[in-house]
Amino acid sequence: MPQLHTFIFYIASENVIDYPTIRVSNDDIQRTFTNLEHRQVAYPFKYEFFVRLARAFPFLKNLSIRNIIPPFLDKNYHLRDKDWLSIIEYPHLISLDMERANSYYLENFLNETKTYSPHLTELKVTYYALEIVTNNFTRNETRRNCAGVRQLIAEGPMVYSKDVYCYFPLLSV
Q: How many CB atoms neighbour CB 52 within 10 A? A: 11
- Look up the domain containing 141 and give its range: 26-167
| Domains contained in the chain, number | 1
Q: Is residue 11 part of a domain?
A: no
In which band, very low, low, confident or very high, does the pLDDT at 46 lie, cut at 50, 70 and 90?
Answer: confident
Q: What is the pLDDT of residue 137?
A: 96
Given a cut of 70, whether residue 65 has pLDDT beyond it is yes
In a domain, 154, yes or no: yes
Residue 108 lies in a domain: yes
Q: Is residue 70 part of a domain?
A: yes
pLDDT tens per residue, range 102-130: 898 999 999 999 999 999 999 999 999 99
Residues 67-102: tens digit of each pLDDT: 877 776 555 544 555 555 789 999 999 999 999 888
Q: Is residue 7 part of a domain?
A: no
Model pTM score: 0.73
pLDDT grade for 47, boundaries at 50, 70 and 90: confident
In a domain, 107, yes or no: yes
